[in-house]
Structure 1
Amino acid sequence: MRYLIAIAQDRFENGRTDSVLLEFHEVCDQPPGTVVVSEAVAIDFDADGKVDFQKGDVNHNGKENSIDHRLLAIFANSYMKMNWTNTGVRRNRYMKIFSEDFHGDGSPNVVQLQLYTCPADGAEVKLVSWHGLFDGNNDGTLDCIVNADANHDGVIEQIDSVIVRSLANVFQMFRWKG
């Protein structure tokens, strides 16, 4: 299984997300465990809510280029809107995103976005909320969405589904499935 961990941070502790870190994980059988295969970073230097710098091969084709930068910027800009940010360099809050192909035809039937928190006191990691997109008829299009308050503003509205759909669609372009 492959999955992505996204971590948003407010490193300057000014109330604004300024960096998004991506870790591409793969579960291995021998030895059992999870390996971070690659990483990427997006930074918003001027705190305007838009990424100014990005680094990493997010579509996993072996070369970093403008396509990677654009995909990373779109993903990070959408993730910053979720307001699931850590203060400073902490990593207590993160999103795990993965896809599942129930038909085995190479087309994901489900993309899940799960938000977790890990209290600093060493308590267990806790699933706080999840959002999902489904391809109900296996035509390659995620046509059904289940989401809660994705941007954590206390209201479930259309922008929540826009954020979730954007993250899921870009995640698919990362080609990190399996």
Structure 2
Amino acid sequence: MRFLKVIAQDRQGSGAADSIELRFHDSELDWREASAREVALLRSFSSTYLKCAWFNAADEDTRHLRMFALNPGSDGTPESVRLHFHEGETIAYKAAVHDLDNDGGFEVVLCSDVDNDGRTNRTDRSRVTTLVKQFLKLGWF
């Protein structure tokens, strides 16, 4: 399965993430770093992800996001994109968007408090939608 693994770290010890690593996986073991073209597309993605406050201290990588698209209709366009926020191998929480009529719009956005501010609201849905749109622009599905 192809997925994007995102790891943010607080290398300065300031209490906020100051670095982000993007790994494109073709399987659990094989990965590559983002190309220059992908990095350009992911600048907005990275900025949005850092607002989620899902990061590690120093050089740790336990907390990370795994993002992947599902295409059960096998028509080349994803009907669902899933976001799994991991704490090690355990999924701490999830989010997903679904394109029910395959028109490129998201009819369903399911998420919890992805920005860790204590509330699940429109801001969380907006952040998930932005992350998914940027992810889909890469064609990594």
TM bucket, shorter chain: over 0.9
In 1, Cα distance between equivalents of 2:69 and 2:112: 19
Residue in 2 that maps onto 1:127: 91
Percent of aligned positions that are identical = 30
> Which letter does structure 1 place at the counterpart of 2:112?
A
Aligned residues: 141
Residue in 2 that maps onto 1:47: none
> Which letter does structure 2 place at the counterpart of 1:24?
F
Q: 1:70: how far off?
A: 3.6
In 2, Cα distance between equivalents of 1:11 and 1:86: 9
Rg larger for: 1
Residue in 2 that maps onto 1:30: none
- 1:102 corresponds to 2:97: no
Residue in 1 that maps onto 2:139: 175
Specify which of 71, 74, 82 is matched with residue 112 of structure 1. 82
Residue in 1 that maps onto 2:30: 35
Residue in 2 that maps onto 1:10: 10
Q: 1:136: how far off?
A: 0.8
Q: 1:69: how far off?
A: 4.1
1:120-157 alpha-carbon deviations (Å, 9 max, x no partner): xxxxx211100000011122322210011010111011
Q: 1:71: how far off?
A: 1.7
In 2, Cα distance between equivalents of 1:169 and 1:78: 11
Residue in 2 that maps onto 1:71: 41
Residue in 1 that maps onto 2:121: 157
Flag the structure with higher helix content.
2
Structure 1: gaps spanning 5 or more residues = 28-32, 41-56, 58-63, 119-124
Match of 2:26, SS? Answer: strand
In 2, Cα distance between equivalents of 1:34 and 1:92: 16
Q: So what's the TM-score if we normalise by structure 1? A: 0.75
1:56-98 alpha-carbon deviations (Å, 9 max, x no partner): x2xxxxxx34xx4442210100100110010101001000000
Residue in 2 that maps onto 1:138: 102
Match of 2:59, SS? Answer: coil
Q: So what's the TM-score if we normalise by structure 2? A: 0.94
In 1, Cα distance between equivalents of 2:106 and 2:30: 28
1:12-33 alpha-carbon deviations (Å, 9 max, x no partner): 1111211110100012xxxxx6
Structure 2: gaps spanning 5 or more residues = none
